[in-house]
A = this chain, B = another copy of it.
């Protein structure tokens, strides 16, 4: 049941995000070439879209935004390029439950997410202590850690207040 609420909320969530770099067309071209790919208009527009506006976007959202500026773009291109970007770690895939994947340009510093199950608001946070403890756990079991997923879910302050208001 929290799933549905979450999905609805996520349609227009506000977000509290860590500061992002300002990227220009030059940077986009560099990124594309670093992956050994050809520079195309669609790829540039997709990167542009990722760099401005909402930080955590679904492939569908990217497609819709991009489709305005560039109506002949197919959604397969968006999915394809997002996958490439993710494989090359220029983009990070964030998955919440069974919902569609969300993507963000990989920021210089790693972070995890705290999401409101009611309104979908996303807060990014860094916690070095947790990161360290994760390493320790992996070590303890003889694993070489490659990555991790830490997603916290809860009710944000606003939604807590809203709930109380309704009760009263």
Complex contact A155–B146 (CB within 8 A): yes
Question: Does A133 contact B129, Cβ atoms closer than 8 Å?
Answer: yes
Closest partner residue, chain B, to A135 (CB atom): B152
Task: Name A's interface SS.
Answer: mixed
A2 proximity list for chain B (CB < 8 A): 146
User: Within 8 Å CB of A157, what residues of B?
Assistant: 142-143
For chain A, the bracket of interface size reads 35 or more
> In the complex the two chains form, what is the Cα distance from A73 to B156 in whole Å?
42
Contacts of A141 in B (CB 8 A): 16, 114, 123, 125, 156
Whether the pair A145, B152 counts as a contact (CB closer than 8 A) is yes
Binds B, one of A38-46, A60-68, A93-101, A102-110: A93-101
Contact A98 B101 (CB under 8 A): yes
Which residue of chain B has its CB nearest to the CB of A112?
B137
CB pair B147–A149 under 8 Å, yes or no, is no
Cβ-defined contact, B133 with A152, below 8 A: no
Asked if A143 contacts B116 (CB within 8 A), the reply is: yes
- Give 3 nearest A-B pairs by CB, closest first: A142-B157, A143-B154, A145-B154
A interface residues, Cβ below 8 angstroms from B: 1-2, 16, 87, 93, 95, 97-98, 101, 114, 116-117, 123, 125, 127, 129-130, 133-134, 137-138, 140-157, 160
